[in-house]
Chain A
Amino acid sequence: MCNLHAIQRCLIAFAITSILQACGVGPPVKQPLPEPPPPPAQYIPREAGPSASPVVALLDKAQIAEQAGRLEDAAATLERAVRIDPYDPMAWQMLARVRLAQGDGSQAEAMAARSNSLMYDDETSQRENWRIIAQARRTRGDEQGARAAERQAGI
């Protein structure tokens, strides 16, 4: 019983926040407990986000258009995907790639950066964004910036 209690407390030590109240146990409290903190810690599942499927369907469609060289159609389709889920980093990344292919380096760079700001744990994709940024900067003649981006991309 006591042992169980100890394990329970041990767990609490690593999850200091809201669990305190849920368990009703904790270190001796001399002062009132802090207010329940606002939840935004790490990785809150999107409560209302749509499932990935319509976006994935559009990304597939855009890829076909991109490979066929129909870049404007690909861009239009990807914008449709962004409208449906603006927090999908892959849609932004593909859009950045298409814009780069269309010769719009500044949009490519901004969109790849936008993609990175939405990317939480996918290092491969993050590196791909940096690669796009590097290419965009090089096209602009910003060799130093390109190299800095390449370092981020791990090249």
Chain B
Amino acid sequence: MGLNYNRSPVNRYRLVRMAKRPRAKSARAPTSRRTPKRKPARARRGRKFSALRRGVFAGVWVMALIGVVAIMGYAAYLDHQVRERFEGARWELPARVFARPLEIYAGKALSADALEEELRLLHYQSVEDLTATGVYRAQGDTVTLHSRGFPFWDAVEPARLLRVEFRGDRVAGVFDARKNTILDLTRLEPVPIANIYPTHLEDRLVARLVDVPPLLTKTLIAVEDRDFYHHFGLDLGAIARAMVANVMAGRVVQGGSTLTQQLVKNLFLTSERSLVRKLNEAIMAGLLEWHYSKDEILEAYINEVYLGQDGARAIHGFALASQFYFERRLSELRSDQLALLVALVKGPSYYEPRQNPQRAKDRRDLVLTQLREGGVLSTAATTEAQTRPLDVTATAPSGVTPFPAFVELMRRQLQDQYPEQALRTEGLVIFTTLDPLVQIAAEQAVTSKLTELEAQRGLPAGSLQAAAVVTAAETGELLAVVGGRDPRLQGYNRALDARRPIGSLIKPVIYLTALARPREYSLASMLDDQPLSVRLDDQQTWSPRNYDDEYHGEVTLRDALVGSYNVSTARLGLAVGIHEVIDTLQQLGFTHRLAPYPSLLLGALEMTPLEVSQVYQGLAAGGYRTPLNTIREVMSGAGEHLSRYPLNIAQAADPASVYLLNSALYEVTRQGTARSLQSLLPATLKVAGKTGTTNELRDSWFAGFSGEHLAVTWIGRDDNKSTGMTGAVGALPIWADIMGNIQTRPLNLNTPPGTEWLMIDARGGLLADEYCAGAQWMPFVEGSAPTEYAPCAHSGPVERTTRWFQDLFN
């Protein structure tokens, strides 16, 4: 074709337009000049005719004039239509939703396996030759990959040949493999997770002509419209050839439509077959050619063309078809793959390669032959391409999101700013916080553990339901949402909508309320865990009981939480005040209004797993609350910045009190109700958390966090009957399975300024020393620790030190 595709299309348009417009005008000019010349000739001849004939002639003339005006008016109408449609928003484009990009840097907790999983989600191919993008090679501790690059909000990440070296489950280094330089950090393109389609379900990815492989346009022109660059919208030669072929065959075997005509047909006209439509098509094709450059028309064609069907979803444009058939970018396709896409233009359903592979292959090979005949491909290249299998993916990638629970939450958060219509039509690009590796781990944990628990406990298969929410502990970004045991099912989203009593999950809020008053309470404060009866305002008696009906006498505040004792907790809650507990809960981000009943202290309040996550996020982030968020940024399809959802934090509780609480929640996982975690998680992975169980074992909860992730899991039944499980038996194993299968870092127990650790004798909550059996280390807000020594301690500090030195030196 001799065309230079590397030049910017914008420049090309201008050149072509400037060359064209004057020519178009001069072509019209003679017609208008011809008329006055003819007039005198006609006038001379007219004298010979009778008046009657003159009148008839004048009548015909007027009618012809009216006809011309009408045709011109009609043409002007068509012209308006063509320009409006072509220059306006040509298509309604679905919003594209992406997961978080995977950041890679030296020191990141990421195994080679996890990287490979991410690459599989991005449809990278494991190959030897790394020339094309979207491919990788894994050898031992090194993964070399050719990334595709991506235009992010803050910068464009270039396509690069990257070498990632691993040491164990950690990235040892990232290198630009071509330049052999160390990279501080890099990110892969994000995994697409959902599209929000126009109501007519036309799906399309728009590509710019510069980004389309030249071989595709060459193939398209060679097969569909050989004279594309030379005709004016119609190709009379092609029409004649088609007519001959059709007459010879006795039926329609060949069309003479140019690409321009095909585009006009798809863009402006119905599929009705009539002479009027054909005429309209011809006029509009001419108008399109008159107004726009060949490249503009070609680009529009490449994006408009219909190339497949996925249920109700129509696949339009070569860029989307490339994803649909090969799960690759257009620029990554080989000649045989491009040939197949062009082959499909003739009949996407007749040549559907997954259903009619032989038909599709025959047609593809014919296209390749035409390329050889047109001199586009060499004989050798053609033969090689023809021997290749079709290579389409076995199943079509679904247009339905695999993560409906997350996407639903995202849409709820988006709807304030973006109406439904905007999401369906404007081609928005939405960057979310979803971490597909965490999401998949959470889904697998829910599915496998529920099946396991049902089998172990002889429950009917499928009777249990569950939900899980995983967030980034510090930034409140939602990484995974599982709304039920079948995570692909769009439906009742329990993570968002199952509002259930939370049981003992409330307890940390009560203890935080107490610990926030260091003058009154410390972890060493003694609580009474003997049976309790409270006369309520309505003359009823409230008698909370411990789970196993065992009462523990005097216990430290820490032990009461670690053992999840109900009675001592209820006493504490009453002492600090129910209103104050509600206040703490609201500080932590629970917005519903609550009635101050004492039963609230034992968790008789309802929350969704998402709401529990919000409350615990403030604890996991050391007292700083941040609204849980699913969206980072929204850009227009053209890359303009539309909105960013910045990180916002607020101090919800005093960091020192939260630190004390978290140290106790860490003990819960070591010695308390969640001690089974010790055998379920690696010893190096310190975590903090709390079990929750409700009346008649209806709900089984676990909420807890590491130094990086917060996860909340819930098991229950949709009919609200008993599951027969406590939090430790049901929700905890799911939680442990999630935490054990994602790469996370241990709980951060670095002592914050203003706190100190001391040894305490749990029997009386007094200072202990090494003579005290079972003494415990506890953190205190400075100045809040007991000053008195327990009886087991050898004596006061001065004598103690003296005796020590005596002992040491004798």
On A, residues with C-beta under 8 Å from B are 6, 9-10, 12-13, 16, 20, 26-35, 37-38, 40-44, 46-51, 53-54, 56-58, 72-73, 75-77, 79-80, 82-84, 86-87, 95, 106-107, 110-111, 113-114, 116-120
Let me know if A72 and B808 touch, CB within 8 A.
Answer: no
Contact B808 A6 (CB under 8 A): yes
- Segment touching A, from B55-63, B467-475, B725-733: B467-475
| Interchain CB contact under 8 A, A47 and B770 | no
Stretch binding the partner chain, chosen from B2-10, B264-272, B606-614, B747-755: B747-755
One of B128-136, B524-532, B773-781 contacting the partner = B773-781
Which B residues are in CB contact (< 8 Å) with A44? 749-750
Knowing that A107-B648, A117-B752 touch, tell me 17 more A-B residue pairs with CB under 8 angstroms. A34-B759, A34-B773, A37-B759, A40-B749, A40-B750, A44-B750, A48-B109, A48-B707, A49-B107, A82-B475, A83-B477, A86-B472, A110-B624, A110-B649, A110-B651, A117-B622, A117-B623
Count of B residues near A, CB < 8 Å?
65
Question: Chain B 737-751 against A: per-residue CB contact (8 Å), 1 yes, 0 no?
Answer: 000000001101111
Contact status B472-A83, CB under 8 Å: yes
- Which residues of chain B are within 8 angstroms of A50 by Cβ–Cβ distance? 105-109
Which chain B residues border A49 with CB–CB below 8 Å? 107, 745
CB-CB under 8 A for A57 and B770, given A110-B650, A117-B655: no
Question: Which among B404-412, B500-508, B586-594, B663-671 touches the partner chain?
Answer: B663-671
Contact B804–A27 (Cβ < 8 Å): yes
Which residues on B sit within 8 Å (CB–CB) of A43? 750-751
Evaluate whether A48 and B746 lie within 8 angstroms (CB atoms) in the complex, with A9-B808, A79-B647, A82-B475 already known.
yes
Contacts of B646 on A, CB cut-off 8 Å?
75, 79
Contacts of A117 in B (CB 8 A): 622-623, 655, 752-753
Instruction: State in angstroms the CA–CA spacing of A75 and B648 once bound together.
Output: 11
Cα of A116 to Cα of B103 in the assembled complex, Å: 27
Cα A16 to Cα B800 in complex, Å, equals: 13
B757, A40: Cβ atoms closer than 8 Å:
yes
A28 to B770, CA, bound (A): 11
Q: Kindly provide the distance from the CB of B539 to the nearest chain A CB, expressed in whole angstroms.
A: 46
Contacts of A6 in B (CB 8 A): 808-809
Hey, which chain B residues are within 8 Å of A29, CB to CB? 770-771
* Distance (whole angstroms) from the CB of B202 to the closest CB of chain A: 33
20 example contacts (A-B, Cβ-Cβ < 8 A) are as follows A9-B809, A28-B807, A34-B768, A37-B759, A37-B777, A38-B666, A38-B777, A43-B751, A44-B750, A47-B745, A50-B108, A54-B107, A73-B154, A76-B153, A82-B474, A87-B750, A114-B649, A116-B753, A117-B622, A117-B655
Query: Are the CB atoms of A42 and B751 closer together than 8 Å?
Result: yes
For window 439-476 of B, CB contacts with A under 8 Å fall at 472-475
Contact A120 B750 (CB under 8 A): yes
Residues of B within 8 A of A42 (CB): 751
Distance in Å: Cβ of B172 to nearest Cβ of chain A:
10
- Cβ of B215 under 8 Å from chain A: no
A43 CA to B748 CA, complexed, in Å: 10
| Alpha-carbon distance A83/B473, docked complex (angstroms) | 10
CA distance A53 to B746 in the complex (A): 20
Complex CA distance for A51 and B184, rounded to whole angstroms: 10
Which residues from chain A contact B770 at a C-beta distance below 8 Å?
A: 16, 20, 26-27, 29, 33-34
Instruction: Report B-chain residues with C-beta under 8 Å of the C-beta of A13.
Output: 801, 804-805, 808
Query: Is B240's beta carbon under 8 Å from chain A?
Result: no
- The reply to whether B684 and A53 form a contact with Cβ atoms under 8 Å apart is no
- Would you call B414 an interface residue if the criterion is a C-beta within 8 Å of the partner chain's C-beta atoms? no
Q: Is B792 an interface residue (CB 8 A)?
A: yes
Considering the chains assembled together, what is the distance between the CA atoms of A110 and B649 in angstroms? 6
Q: Please report the C-alpha to C-alpha distance between residue A72 and residue B745 in the assembled complex, in whole angstroms.
A: 30
Chain A positions within 8 Å of B633 at CB level = 76
The 8 closest A-B pairs by CB, nearest first: A86-B474, A57-B184, A50-B107, A54-B105, A48-B745, A40-B749, A51-B107, A54-B185
* A88 → B minimal CB distance (Å): 10
Chain B, 83-111, contact with A by CB distance < 8 Å: what is the 0/1 string?
A: 00000000000000000000101111100
> A43 to nearest B CB, angstroms?
7
The answer to whether A114 and B624 have CB atoms under 8 Å apart is: yes
Q: How far is the CB of A63 from chain B (nearest CB, A)?
A: 14
- Tell me the smallest distance from the CB of A78 to a CB of chain B, in Å: 9
The chain B residue sitting closest to A30, CB to CB, is B771
Chain A residue at minimum C-beta to C-beta distance from B655: A117
* Chain A residues near B641 (CB-CB < 8 A): 72
How far apart sit A56 and B622, CA to CA, in the bound complex (Å)?
Answer: 23
Is the beta-carbon distance between A84 and B748 smaller than 8 angstroms? no
Give the residue among A6, A34, A58 with the most B Cβ atoms within 10 A.
A34
Partner of B792, one of A31, A47, A56, A113: A31
Question: Is the CB–CB distance between B105 and A34 below 8 Å?
Answer: no
- Measured between beta carbons, the chain A residues less than 8 angstroms from B776 are 34-35, 37
User: Does B774 lie within 8 Å of A34, measured CB to CB?
Assistant: yes
Q: Which residues of B in the span 585-632 have a Cβ within 8 Å of any Cβ on A?
A: 621-624
Q: Which of A12, A48, A49, A50 has the most CB of B within 10 A?
A: A48
Task: From known contacts A34-B759, A34-B768, A34-B772, infer whether A53 and B808 are also in contact, taking CB-CB under 8 Å.
Answer: no
- In contact, B748 and A46 (Cβ under 8 angstroms): yes
Give the residues in chain B near A53, CB-CB below 8 Å: 105-107, 184
> Nearest CB to that of B806 among chain A residues?
A27
In chain B, what residue has the closest Cβ to A51?
Answer: B107
CB distance from B223 to the nearest CB of A (A): 46
Query: How many Å from the CB of A100 to the closest CB on chain B?
Result: 14
Q: Which residues of A contact B649 (CB under 8 A)?
A: 107, 110-111, 114
Minimum distance in angstroms from A114 CB to a CB of chain B: 5
A9 closest partner in B (C-beta)? B808
A residues in contact with B804, CB < 8 Å: 13, 27
Question: Is the CB–CB distance between A10 and B749 below 8 Å?
Answer: no
The chain A residue with its CB closest to the CB of B656 is: A117
Give the shortest distance, in Å, between A136 (CB) and chain B (any CB). 13
Also in contact, A86 and B475, with CB within 8 A (given A37-B777, A41-B757) = yes
Interface residue ranges of B289-332 to A (CB < 8 Å): none
Q: Is the CB of A41 within 8 A of B751?
A: yes
Q: Is the CB of A34 within 8 A of B667?
A: no
Which residues of B (773-799) have their CB < 8 Å from a CB of A?
773-777, 779, 792
In the assembled complex, the CB of B753 is this many whole angstroms from the nearest CB of chain A, namely 7
Complex-state Cα separation, A73 to B641, whole angstroms: 11
Q: How far is the CA of A53 from the CA of B231 in the complex (A)?
A: 59
- Residues in A neighbouring B184, C-beta threshold 8 A: 53-54, 56-57
CA distance A28 to B670 in the complex (A): 30
Q: Residues of B contacting A79 with CB < 8 Å?
A: 475, 646-647
| Cβ of B14 to closest chain A Cβ, rounded Å | 32
B581 to chain A minimum Cβ distance, whole angstroms, is 24
Distance in angstroms between the alpha carbons of A88 and B745 in the assembled complex: 14
B53 interfacial by beta-carbon distance below 8 Å: no
- In the complex, chain A residues whose CB is within 8 Å of the CB of B751: 40-43
**Min CB gap A64→B, angstroms:** 12
Q: With a CB–CB cut-off of 8 A, which chain A residues contact B388?
A: none
Query: Which A residues are in CB contact (< 8 Å) with B651?
Result: 110, 113-114
Min CB gap B474→A, angstroms: 3
Instruction: Report how far A22 CA is from B280 CA in the complex, Å.
Output: 94
The answer to whether B278 has its CB under 8 Å from any CB of chain A is no
Q: Which residues of B contact A57 (CB under 8 A)?
A: 184-185
Q: Which residue of B lies closest to A86 (CB)?
A: B474
Contact assessment for B773 and A84 in the assembled complex, using a CB-CB cutoff below 8 Å = no
Do residues B472 and A47 form an inter-chain contact, with CB atoms below 8 A? no
- Alpha-carbon distance A63/B108, docked complex (angstroms): 23
Give Cα A106 to B667, complex, Å: 35
Name the A residues within 8 Å of B103 (CB-CB).
Answer: 54, 80, 83-84
Q: Which residues of A contact B277 (CB under 8 A)?
A: none
Per the bound structure, the CA–CA distance linking A20 and B472 in Å amounts to 39
Q: Nearest A residue to B756 by beta-carbon distance?
A: A42
Nearest chain A residue, comparing its CB with the CB of B658:
A117
Would you call B105 and A84 a contact (CB within 8 A)?
Answer: yes
